[in-house]
Amino acid sequence: MLKAMRKTAASRDEYSRILAALRTGIDSAKLTRELAAQHSGDAAFARRLVDTASARLWLDDGAPAADVLTMLEVRHRFELSPGRARAYAVEILWTVQLSIDTCIPHAIPTTKEARHAAA
């Protein structure tokens, strides 16, 4: 029998709901368990969603990237080995930073700006 494909992305509504829940102070472990139950017991998918949303909130609140990395590592210090926890935290941080960078429109210099720019 073939295994069902694992869901790899959350809908915008679901992600918004997770962000709102974290903003109100819901415990991340409790939220992860609730999401895992909704997604056929896929704890890894739920953990990744909650960690991504948490990192996004921390960065939006002005936390330094190094602090976000440490918070993610500490959150999973009992589940993963130190090396795996670090790699997981770096992956989450890169994912969030990439999504932030792609959302911010970069200004395209006009011809006048390019002509008068100091080289």
27-43 confidence digits (pLDDT tens): 998 998 998 888 777 88
| Pairwise CA distance, residues 92 & 97, whole Å | 9
Token pair for residue 99?
Answer: 């999504």
Is the Cβ–Cβ distance between 50 and 33 less than 8 Å? Answer: no
What average pLDDT does the segment 85-91 reach? 93
Say which range, 16-30, 67-81, 99-113, has the weakest mean pLDDT.
99-113
| Pairwise CA distance, residues 113 & 71, whole Å | 42
**2: confidence class by pLDDT, cuts 50, 70, 90:** very low
Neighbours of 89 (CB within 10 A): 22
| Pairwise CA distance, residues 108 & 91, whole Å | 30
User: Helix 65-75 crosses helix 82-103 at what angle (to 10 degrees)?
Assistant: 140
